[in-house]
Amino acid sequence: MPMSAAADRTAVLALAAALVLGSAACDAAAPSEGPPSYTTLTIATSESSGMTAVLAAAFHTHHLDVVVEVRSNPRDVHDRELPGLLASDAAPDLVLLNSLGLAPPGSIRSLDDHARQYGWTRTYPASLLDQWRASDDGHQLGGGHLWAAPAGFSLVGAYYNKELASRLGITAAAGSRQLDAACTRAKAAGVLPIQLGNEQGHASLLFQSLTDSADGAARATDWVNGRTGTTLQQGGRHAAEALAEWAGRGCFPADANTVDLPGAAAAFGAGAGLYLVDGSWDAQPIDRAMHGKVGFLPFVGDNGRATGIGTSVAYAVPARARHPDAAAAFLDFLNSPEAAQIEFNAGFLPVAHADQVTTDPGSVMNDIARAWARVNEDDGLVNFFNNSTATMNTTLTEQTQRLLARQTSPTAFLTAVQEDWERAH
């Protein structure tokens, strides 16, 4: 995810339909003059692929009386400023939620009425919509009121370099035992086994993928949702021990804690690393760098069932929004066939109509689509551990960095993670 000190502010009209997904965000531009009478719908986001801007332009072509303005910030800035933004008299009409815990109680509207109005419970698979349900106090996730609506799902799995796998005689597979064996063979051949950037805590993707495949999606989901009495002591212990051992064996880059995820993805695209555990949001740059030479796999447990970390880019309507009905209409547009193709082009799995999207036969997005289908068939989708509490992202960043640097033990790592969880649940 690109990080910059200044916010990007993009005014999106029909003309913006020419935006190219994945391009750098544009500098601030004044909105063109709209119709004689029009509504300005404002969206605050940290989504960095350009998808939201293109969705906004497409929505405008169907609602010429609505001008959509997208304001984008890096995720850390967006999350930090979100409570103040929601409390402001100038609150936007839609805000991206990276976690339900980031929105103070009473600061966003329940979408229950809009869900009934538009029939979203028929459009969205229940398990995917439930990721954005919570009790009024926010302590119990996965049920209760609907607070946000999805705008394209992401899936985490293992990208692999097909040429390196062939040269090493490795049949690519994503599981603890397979990755351990690949580490041994790749190291012996002088090949970096697993590319990794952990400056912002993305080793948590590997930690969670190993945990989910060991414990199963149902148990991992209970922990994310705050179900009383759940812990990560079984699969989590195995995963933490694997990370510590692989770090000690040199299976990751020596400078992993000082490289961010985009940097690791770029290094992988340049041929450094047999595997990279990353999300579908990085599919486009990886595919451009390694077109036809990169694959993608879900993690599979010893029981043969696939699991995958995944959630959606999701938008909520602030309690202080000036145009809640126009905001709901935009959210409903997100599950149209037109939006599905835009979402897929940006590296996201569509909210609906996945059977109607098309892509280049050589694109890694085909592997990602197959992985998505298998994960859903095995009921294996798990929300990000980072979303289990408002502070878990910080905790996982700090603790995975210490684990890789051998400044903490797997036991102490798990204790710190569980203590954060218990403070919130």
Q: What is the per-residue pLDDT across 258-281, written as a single tens digit (0 to 9) for each?
A: 999 999 999 999 999 999 999 998
Taking residues 317-330, what's their average pLDDT? 97
- pLDDT beyond 50 at 24: no
Determine the average pLDDT of the residues in 36-64: 91
180 and 204 belong to one structural domain: yes
Residue 355's pLDDT band, with cuts at 50, 70 and 90, is: confident
Given a cut of 50, whether residue 27 has pLDDT beyond it is: no
Centre a 10 Å sphere on the Cβ of residue 83 and count the other Cβ atoms it contains. Answer: 14
Domain containing 392: what range?
A: 156-310+368-424
Instruction: Note whether 161 and 293 are within 8 A (CB).
Output: yes
More confident residue, 105 or 157: 157
**Which CATH number goes with the domain that contains 222?**
3.40.190.10
Q: What share of the chain is helix, strand, coil (3-state, %, to 5)?
A: 45, 15, 35
Asked if 149 and 237 sit in the same domain, the reply is no
Q: For the chain, what percent of residues have pLDDT higher than 90?
A: 71
284 in a structural domain: yes
Per-residue pLDDT averaged across 226-246, rounded? 95
- pLDDT attached to residue 4: 35
Give the residue with greater pLDDT, 375 vs 6: 375
If you average pLDDT over residues 208-235, what whole number do you get? Answer: 94
Residues 27 and 130 in one domain: yes
Predicted TM-score of the model (pTM): 0.78
Residues 293 and 332 in one domain: no
Residue among 243, 295, 305 at smallest CA distance from 274: 295
- Domains contained in the chain, number: 2
Check pLDDT > 80 for residue 413: yes
What DSSP element (H or E) covers 218?
Answer: helix 217-224
Residue 296 lies in a domain: yes
- Residue 1 inside a domain? The answer is no
Q: Is 363 within the bounds of a domain? A: no
298-321 mean pLDDT: 94
User: What pLDDT, on the 0 to 100 scale, is given for residue 16?
Assistant: 38
Q: Is the pLDDT of residue 357 over 90?
A: no
Q: Tell me whether residue 2 is in a domain.
A: no
List the one residue out of 187, 185, 97, 191 whose CA is nearest residue 146.
97
The size of the chain, in residues, is 425
Distance of CA 341 to the CA centre of its chain: 18
- Residue 80 has a pLDDT of 92
Residue 138: both structure tokens together? 């926010």
Same domain, yes or no: 287 and 210: yes
Are residues 332 and 405 located together in one domain of the fold? no
- Is the pLDDT at 92 greater than 50? The verdict is yes
What pLDDT does residue 129 have?
A: 85
Whether residue 392 is contained in a domain is answered as yes
Residue where a domain terminates, one of 356, 376, 392: 356
Backbone angles phi, psi at 170, to 5 degrees: -105, 130
Indicate whether 399 and 319 sit together in one domain.
Answer: no
User: Mean pLDDT across the chain, nearest whole number?
Assistant: 89
Task: Answer yes or no: do 229 and 299 share one domain.
Answer: yes
At 169 the pLDDT is 96
Region 128-140 average pLDDT: 82
- Provide the CB-side half-sphere exposure for 137 (13 A, CA): 5
* DSSP-assigned beta bridge partners for residue 195: 276
User: What are residue 40's DSSP bridge partners?
Assistant: 67
Looking at the structure, tell me whether residues 286 and 204 fall in a common domain. yes
Predicted confidence band of residue 71 (pLDDT cuts 50, 70, 90): very high
From 254, 274, 273, select the one nearest 404 (Cα to Cα): 254
Residues 141 and 269 in one domain: no
Cα 416 to its chain centre, rounded Å, is: 23
Looking at the predicted structure, is the pLDDT value of residue 253 above 50?
Answer: yes
At 21 the pLDDT is 36
What pLDDT is recorded for position 290? 97
Answer yes or no: is pLDDT of 291 > 90: yes
Whether residue 222 lies inside any domain: the answer is yes
Q: Mean of the pLDDT values across residues 55-76?
A: 94
pLDDT, tens digit, 9 for 90 and up, residues 163-207: 999 999 999 999 999 999 999 999 999 999 999 999 999 999 999
Q: Give yes or no: residues 130 and 165 share one domain.
A: no
Q: Do 267 and 306 fall into the same domain?
A: yes
| pLDDT score of 9 | 41
Q: pLDDT value at position 293?
A: 97
* Mean pLDDT in residue range 8-20: 38
Residue 3 is assigned to a structural domain of this protein:
no
Give the E-state strand segments of 191-339 in sequence order.
194-195, 275-279, 294-297, 299-300, 306-316
